[in-house]
Structures are given as C-alpha cells and as structure tokens.
Structure 1
C-alpha cells in the first residue's frame, strides 16, 4: 500500500489534473459561492474560468426555475443528498445530471460542499425513446384488440344471418308448404286426401332432418353428453353422408378423456371450421382427422388433399377464409393451446392443434 508521503509533488499534480479532466465536480462555500469548478464541468456547462465566480446555480443552468430549485437544494442543507436534475446550458442544450451533494469541513472547520455529477443525458434520452416505443406498441396492441373485437362481432352477426337463412330457406319454407297442403285437404275426396297425407309425412320427415341439421350445427348433443371424441366421430359421419367426400376420424391413442365445456366447444369448432374450409375453399376429396395424446399433451391433426394456399397472403387480404383461420387461432389461444398451419398450393393442408393436458 502506498503512503501519501511516498507520492512526489509531480505525481500528485498529475493525479489532480487527471481528476480535473475526468470528473464533474465543484466545491462551494456555505453561501453557494464556487471555490473550485473542474475543467470537465466547465466544458459541460460551456463556461470559462473567469466566469466561475457566480453562484453555482447560475453557472449550472440559465433557466430561472431550475436556478431557484438548485439554490434551495444546495444552500442550508443539513445532510447529504443525491438525485437527478435537469439543467439548461448557455448554448440552450438541455442536460440531465445525476448529482450528489456532500457536506464537509475544511481545515478551518468551515463548512464546504462537494458537488459530484455524472452526465446521464444520453441515458435519459434513451429512456424517453423507449417510453415512446412502449407507448406506440401499447397503442398498436389496443388498436389490434379493437380491430379483433370488431371482427369477432362481425363474425357473430354473420353466423346469426347464416342460421336465420338456414331456418328461413329450409324449415320456414317447408312449414309454409305443409300449411298450404293441410289447408287444401278435401275430406270428401278420400283418394286425394290419402295422397296429401303421404306428402305431408314426407314433408314432416324432411322438416325433422332440417331441424336436426340446424341444431347439430349449433351444438351437437354428443359434445356435451359424451365429449370431444364422440362429437368428432359424429361430425365426420354427418359430413361424409352430406357431401359424399372421403372424411375420416382416427383416435390413434384411444383417448377417452373429458375437458371443461369451454375447451371442448372451442376444439370442436376449430376442427369443424378446418373441415368446412377444406370442403368449401380447397375442394378436398380426402380429409383425415387424427387425434392422439401423451401424458401432457393432446394433438388433433386435420389433413386434406385440397388445393392448398399461401397462408400469409390469405390472412393479409382479409378474405372470408382468412377470417376463418384468424378465428381458429383466436379460439385455440383462448384455451391456452397452440395452432399450426402448414399449406402449399396444390399440396394440401395440415392443421395441427396442441393442448397441454395439465392446463385444461
């Protein structure tokens, strides 16, 4: 360890010069008069050595409000202080300083104050920039949520219109026809009445099928009664009969579990949407739904041999099918799952749904 006695005057002078050029510091008396101001501090504040006789608050800033704050901060202080301050230099440059005020006594026991500063202007500018970026990202997120909410409402309205159209075009027209048939029955003409009754039976049979079809599309009873596996199996059978396409369901790991109704409903709707998209937009002739599970994960994969598509282009254009994919992702995200879409033109499509079993 070196002793102060072993330091030569030249070394001490060099040491003081180094400190003078590298540190922002000032020494003031108990009246606020500057006793010493380091060269680095002078350079930062854009003042010369013959100007440093003014009170410290006038040297540090040209802003009157800042001068008043600094004067109150420094004078009549009974204990040390540290914090951040804003100052305005003679060139109207705004600087941020991290400042500490340290009370001390000289050899004559007179109180002096040592002011040490660090220039944190760049850090403050970065903080402001980061805050602006964060606010922009937050605003964009809020706007996205508003857009998505609007799209969800629109989709709900479209679904209501579709259900109303199904009821009007199918059930409504059949009921009207049955009404007219009943009103036209002439009991005195037995043969005509018999034919009318036969027609009414056929009409009622068609009506029952229409009601079952509409209610099945709304909520299949198998889903609430028996779970996702029987519901998907019934969906495949119904759609195969209705479309004449090759649609299959395979429960590879013989899964028999049940989930919360919200999870089961969203899983079912996403699979239903995927199959409908494959039939409606991809002109698929072969669709395979595969369900498998492990200790922690359930996977449902929907493969089709359809036309395929460019996922990025489709979602950017906001087409009806693109909106369908958007809502599929939203449904799966809502139940803490993940959905992956892989598709190429003329190469078919694979949609994979993964659900963590320990979170459902």
Structure 2
C-alpha cells in the first residue's frame, strides 16, 4: 500500500474511533470532568504514537536514501542503498540505484576516452622532446666539444662547464620523455618498467626498492599501463609530499590477478583531502575494474594498494550443451 494511503487510513481509523467513543459511552461535560480529560489525553497520545511509529517505519528507507545521495562517490562503485519499504519508497530507491549505475557506466566511458587522449598527447610530447629538443641539445654538445678542443686554455674550462650543464639538461629532457611515454613498458614489459621507475625516483634523500614476483599472470596492455601509472603517481606523491626516506614497490600475484603496493615511511596523509593525483588513480583503476585502497601503512606512512582482477574465465562448452 502506498505511504500516503497508509498514513491517511491510520489517521482516519483513529479519528473514527474517537468520534464513535464521543458519540457513545464517552461524553464531554462542561466543565470537563477529570475522567473525560484522561480519556481524551490517552486517545490523543495513542494517535500521536501511532502516527510517529508509522512515519518512522515508512520514512526510514528514505533516510537511508538521503544518506546515500549525500555520500555517493562515482569513483567508488558498488555503494548502493538497500531497497526497502513499499510502494513509492521502494520504487524511488530502485530508480536511484539504476540512475547511479548509468552514471557510473557513463563516467567510466568518458574517463576512458579522456585518459586515452591524455596518453596519446603524452606520447606526442615525448616524441617531440626526444626528436626535437633532444637532437638539438645533442648537436649543441657536439659543437661545444669541437669548440672546447680549439679554445685557449683560459676559456676551455668555462666551455667544459657549459658542456656539463647542457649534458645535464639533455638527461633531464630524456628523463621527462621517459615519464611521459614509458617506452621500456612497451619494449621490456611491466617488471622492467617498474624497476626503472624505482631507479628514477631513488636518490640521496629517498631510497626506493622493488619486490616483484616472477610468476605474474599475463595482463593486457591497458592493465599494465594502469599499474605503471598508479605506481608512478604513488612515487610522485611520496617524493613531493611524504618527506619519506624509504619507499617500496611490490607487485605480487593475487589469485588470477595481481596486486600492486606502493608504501613509504613518511608522515602519512592525515586529514588532507584527496587531490587530483589520487582521483586520477581511482579513475584509472575503474578502467580495468580494479580496486584501489589508500590508507596508512602497517609501519606508518602511506600505503597504496591496487588489485587488478584476472581475465574472466572462458565459458565451458560442455555446460552449453555442446560436445
């Protein structure tokens, strides 16, 4: 029965009962007698309690729906209010869940397009850095080498210093190009790319080690790219914000899938809100149906876990009635 009719019929029942009592054994005198006042008070209290109970039971699913609407996050799929109540209430919750399903699907599709365009732009910029800027700096280095061989002794040392500065700039351009386009991922695979990533971020102030299982299941190119980008963003956050001295990348088998873990010994995230980098990691995780968990590590600091499921098993022909 719809909520409107339940409330209306209960109110009507209470009012009819009160009217019948007033027309029958219960009368109101002037002045009002104590027993009459007591009966009227009890009747009013009963009506209020019945209304309160009905509204509490009938509107409880709407309160759960309100909480879900204020806390829903499309980057954390699976959060749905339980369908409860009857009539319009259950229909409203079901409609809300259907709407969230559609929004999550549309967001995943649009995020995939955006990230695909982003990767294409990164490849283009990396190619231009390598072909244009890199080749130009290489030519400058060769010219400086020639000039240094012909320069007088007093000027030769200054030319050598310019050479070293140019060489450092060339190394930085190559490093940026590698981060924009992980060529080692395409050429040598995920394990080598993660090792190279740990080497790039390691330095005098931050020690980065890696622990990679040897028996990892085969993964698609998109899943490998998501794992690489999440590890890259995690180490970037460690280097920029964590004030950590040690960090670790771990990649292990998790059933048919894999689990990536990036942890550090820094000061943790505290109460800081999630930034664009973390939300970008969540969007990438959704592309491959992965789960991302970010929180404090077992020994302090911050830990990022990405669990990528394995490929869906192929259907069994025998179960489909085929021999």
**How far, CA to CA, are the matches of 1:294 and 1:345 in structure 2?**
19
- Aligned match of 2:196 in 234, 237, 247? 234
228-237 or 301-310, larger mean C-alpha shift: 301-310
Q: Secondary structure of the equivalent of 1:276?
A: helix
CA distance change for structure 1 residues 188 and 237 in 2, over 3 Å: closer, same or farther? Answer: closer
**How far, CA to CA, are the matches of 1:129 and 1:210 in structure 2?**
60
Write out per-residue CA displacement over residues 252-271 of structure 1, whole angstroms, 9 at most, x where no aligned residue: x3235542221111100001
**How far, CA to CA, are the matches of 2:240 and 2:202 in structure 1?**
14
> Corresponding residue for 1:282?
242
CA distance change for structure 1 residues 211 and 266 in 2, over 3 Å: closer, same or farther? Answer: same
TM-score (norm 1): 0.47
TM-score (norm 2): 0.52
330-339 or 267-276, larger mean C-alpha shift: 330-339
CA distance change for structure 1 residues 254 and 196 in 2, over 3 Å: closer, same or farther? Answer: same
> Corresponding residue for 1:214?
176
Task: Give the RMSD, CA atoms, in angstroms.
Answer: 4.6
**How far, CA to CA, are the matches of 1:231 and 1:246 in structure 2?**
17
Are residues 1:245 and 2:206 paired?
yes
Write out per-residue CA displacement over residues 39-96 of structure 1, whole angstroms, 9 at most, x where no aligned residue: xxxxxxxxxxxxxxxxxxxxxxxxxxxxxxxxxxxxxxxxxxxxxxxxxxxxxxxxxx
Question: Is contact 2:217-2:258 (8 Å) kept?
Answer: no
**How far, CA to CA, are the matches of 1:188 and 1:358 in structure 2?**
63
- Aligned match of 2:266 in 292, 299, 306? 306
> Corresponding residue for 2:282?
329
CA distance change for structure 1 residues 186 and 268 in 2, over 3 Å: closer, same or farther? Answer: closer
CA distance change for structure 1 residues 132 and 280 in 2, over 3 Å: closer, same or farther? Answer: same
> Corresponding residue for 2:187?
225
Question: Is contact 1:227-1:258 (8 Å) kept?
Answer: no
C-alpha displacement of 1:292? 1.6
Q: Secondary structure of the equivalent of 2:311?
A: helix
- Compare the two structures and name the one with the higher strand fraction: 1
**How far, CA to CA, are the matches of 1:193 and 1:138 in structure 2?**
75
**How far, CA to CA, are the matches of 1:188 and 1:267 in structure 2?**
51
- Aligned match of 1:198 in 133, 143, 160? 160
> Corresponding residue for 1:352?
305
C-alpha displacement of 1:198? 2.9
CA distance change for structure 1 residues 303 and 146 in 2, over 3 Å: closer, same or farther? Answer: closer
- Compare the two structures and name the one with the higher helix fraction: 2
Q: Secondary structure of the equivalent of 1:309?
A: coil
C-alpha displacement of 1:279? 2.2
Write out per-residue CA displacement over residues 117-173 of structure 1, whole angstroms, 9 at most, x where no aligned residue: xxxxxxxx95544444455555667778679969x969969x98xx89xx7xxx69x
C-alpha displacement of 1:221? 2.2
CA distance change for structure 1 residues 234 and 258 in 2, over 3 Å: closer, same or farther? Answer: farther
Q: Secondary structure of the equivalent of 2:273?
A: helix
Are residues 1:259 and 2:219 paired?
yes
Unpaired runs of 5+ residues, structure 1, are: 1-124, 316-321
C-alpha displacement of 1:342? 2.4
How is 1:104-143 mapped onto 2 (pairs within 5 angstroms)?
126-136=86-96
State the number of aligned residues.
215
Kindly indicate whether structure 1 or structure 2 has the higher relative contact order, using CA contacts under 8 Å at least 6 residues apart.
Answer: 2
Larger radius of gyration: 1
